[in-house]
Amino acid sequence: MKKVSLVLVLLMLTAMMPGFAGAAELNTTDPITLTYSVWDSYEMYEFLAQKFEELHPNIDVQILQLGGTDVYMSNLTNLAAEGKFPDVFQHLNLDSCIINGWFADITEYVEADEEYQNGYYKSLQDIGYLDGERCFFIANKYLPITVYLDEAVFEKENVPMPEPDWSWEQMIELMETMTRPDLEIWAYNSFLGILSIGPVALTDGALAEFGWDGEAYHFEEGWAESIAQEADFRRMNYRADSDPNYAALMGDVWAGQSGHVAIQHDAWWTMNNIYTQSDALERGLRMVPYAPPASETVEDSNALAFVDFGAVSSSCKNPREAFELLKFMSYGKDGWFAEIEGFATLVNEAGEKIYRLPDCVPLTEDEEVWAAFRTLFDDSPYWDGYFAGLHRPVSLGGVAIPGFNTFLSEVYNGSDYNGVIGIEAAVFEGVADPYDYADTLNAKGREYYDAVMDEFYAVYGK
């Protein structure tokens, strides 16, 4: 399949961008400096900072590279202790931000911003309103959870590929039928599988992991159904990495790259890091990306995703300008045209392209942005169907739900369930019925949420 040339990409971008939409009217024209902390994609953020400075010549943007995800939050804490906390920051642990009072209230900015109200994903709009009234953070980066279907395996089994707008029920049916021991093929393998994406897809109006709706979890719905389904599939050896027969055949070859698996539930970055690389191609893999499917039985069926969040800090002296920087780096149309240009042109010190494929997808529904983004990919029609299904993202819990991380470690993964530690392990070992524990998990999850929200009100008032 032919790649769109870099020249054509730039020509199309130029045609779509007769100029940036124009700098927003800010509070000051005095020279100011804004600091912005990140944990990855440094070259892109430096590039975007330069583009923002071109729109706002009085503003100097300094990108703070605070290390990877393992040290980022501790480095933020150190900056806070030194009185050097960044003006705009990404966060990895919501509870720390709440308890330390790091968030500025940005409600007046988002509610007055036309692009936020009309272009930012509706499925993400409520999550930053921690008390239902005030907004404290917005999505900063969107990396879809992706379901990869190996076209080569489907051809081998003489099974037609599903339509891009497939349903949850169609995916489950494929997972029930694609295992073929005679062909040494397993139906699926997972990094983040139905137990992760099911509680969102199968719970009406879920805003985050485990079917969280902003006030409560719903373990009795999508989670209970999904973990029971996963347990059944494992017992029937439909999942490659839980079947000893796979290990006997393939040894330590990762199942998702083996060519013996029809469906791999994984991350967006796996396409760039693995499925477009020579090792996978030489094995004959032809992985086609699909969006996590919506359920036919759920009115508002969203899709779990890796969503990073950003905020203006409570210590920032220029919050209006800082919000414009955050917008530019997240959902703003001007910022996205700049980011697309960066994906097409940025090179490393050796002159090699940094981005073979973009490392994220647009955080806006703007059609012109998506049209420009589409030029960065080859002419396969699969991309169009995949992108069309990405407009209902919701987040993992730790960055979006107060109390989630502690609840996860102490209750979900850390409690004893009939002699087995962790509810998932207990269900998979057959000593716990997930439906028997749904109410307890709902109640415990809410307890941990309430504990952190008490801290929130102590810091931010009611």
pLDDT in tens, 115-135: 999 999 999 999 999 999 999
Asked if residue 185 and residue 99 are part of one domain, the reply reads no
Separation CA 340–CA 273 (nearest Å): 19
Contacts of 244 (CB under 8 A, 6+ apart): none
User: Do 149 and 289 fall into the same domain?
Assistant: yes
pLDDT at 138: 97
Q: Is the pLDDT of residue 412 over 50?
A: yes
Same structural domain, 56 and 151: no
E-strand ranges in 50-161 read 59-65, 88-91, 138-150
Binning the chain into helix, strand and coil, the percentages to the nearest 5 are: 45, 15, 40
Contact predicate 138/91, CB 8 Å: no
Residues 284 and 350 in one domain: no
Does some domain include residue 438? no
Q: Is residue 417 part of a domain?
A: no
Listed in sequence order, the residues at least 6 apart from 127 whose beta carbon sits closer than 8 Å to its beta carbon are 207, 208, 214, 394, 395, 400
Instruction: Note whether residue 79 is domain-resident.
Output: yes
Partner residues linked to 247 by β-bridges? none
Instruction: State the alpha helices, DSSP H only, in 119-219.
Output: 122-125, 151-156, 168-177, 194-201
Task: For residue 156, count CB atoms less than 10 angstroms from its CB and return exposed for 0-12, middle for 13-18, buried for 19 or more.
Answer: middle
DSSP, res 222: I
What residues form DSSP beta bridges with 315?
none
CA 141 from chain centre, in angstroms, equals 7
Residues 154 and 281 in one domain: yes
Q: What is the Cβ-side half-sphere exposure of residue 256, based on CA atoms within 13 angstroms?
A: 18
268 closest CA partner among 230, 300, 210, 307? 307
Q: Are residues 193 and 245 in the same domain?
A: yes
Cα atoms found within 13 Å of the Cα of residue 412, Cβ hemisphere only: 21
Same structural domain, 127 and 268: no
CA distance 124 to 309: 10
Compute the average pLDDT of residues 323-344: 98
Cα–Cα dist 402/215, whole Å: 10
Residue 27 banded pLDDT, cuts 50, 70, 90: confident
Q: In this structure, are 272 and 388 located in the same domain?
A: no
The answer to whether 150 and 174 have CB atoms below 8 angstroms apart is: no
Number of domains in the chain: 2
Q: What is the pLDDT of residues 270-281, one digit of tens each?
A: 999 999 999 999
Q: Model confidence at 20, in pLDDT bands (50, 70, 90)?
A: very low
Cα-Cα end-to-end distance for the chain: 57
Question: Looking at 21-30, 210-219, 230-239, which range is the least confident one?
Answer: 21-30
Angle at which helices 168-177 and 224-235 cross, to 10°: 20
Q: Are residues 53 and 25 in the same domain?
A: yes
In a domain, 435, yes or no: no
Question: CA-CA distance, 211 to 205, in Å (whole number)?
Answer: 8
Q: Which pLDDT belongs to residue 29?
A: 86
Same-domain check for residues 273 and 323: no
pLDDT band at 26 (very low <50, low <70, confident <90, very high): confident
* Pair (201, 280) in one structural domain: yes
Report the largest interatomic distance among the alpha carbons of the chain, rounded to a whole angstrom: 72
Quick check: is 310 in a domain?
yes
- For a pLDDT cut of 70, what percent of the chain falls above it? 95
Q: Above 70 in pLDDT, residue 148?
A: yes
Q: Give the domain extent around 331.
A: 6-143+305-395
**Residue 430 within a domain:** no
> Could you tell me the two tokens for 232?
């059944």
Domain's final residue, options 271, 296, 321 = 296
List the one residue out of 119, 168, 400, 176 whose CA is nearest residue 302.
168
Mean pLDDT of 235-260: 96
pLDDT of 19:
38
- Of the residues 264, 296, 328, the one at which a domain ends: 296
> Which helix (DSSP H) or strand (DSSP E) does residue 264 occupy?
strand 261-267
Residues 42-66 have pLDDT tens digits of: 999 999 999 999 999 999 999 999 9
Mean pLDDT of 2-19: 45
Alpha-carbon distance of 444 to 341, in angstroms, equals 46
**All residues at 6 or more sequence positions from 436 whose CB lies less than 8 Å from its CB, including other chains:** none
Is residue 360, in this structure, part of any structural domain at all?
yes
Q: What is the CATH number of the domain that holds 348?
A: 3.40.190.10
Q: At residue 412, what are phi and psi to the nearest 5 degrees?
A: -65, -50
- Per the domain annotation, does 459 fall within a domain? no
3-state secondary structure 270-314: HHHHHHCCHHHHHCCCCEEEECCCECCCCCCCCEEEEEEEEEEEC
| Residue 418 or residue 10, greater confidence | 418
Q: Using the 3D structure, point to which of 395, 424, 448 is the last residue of a domain.
A: 395
pTM over 0.75: yes
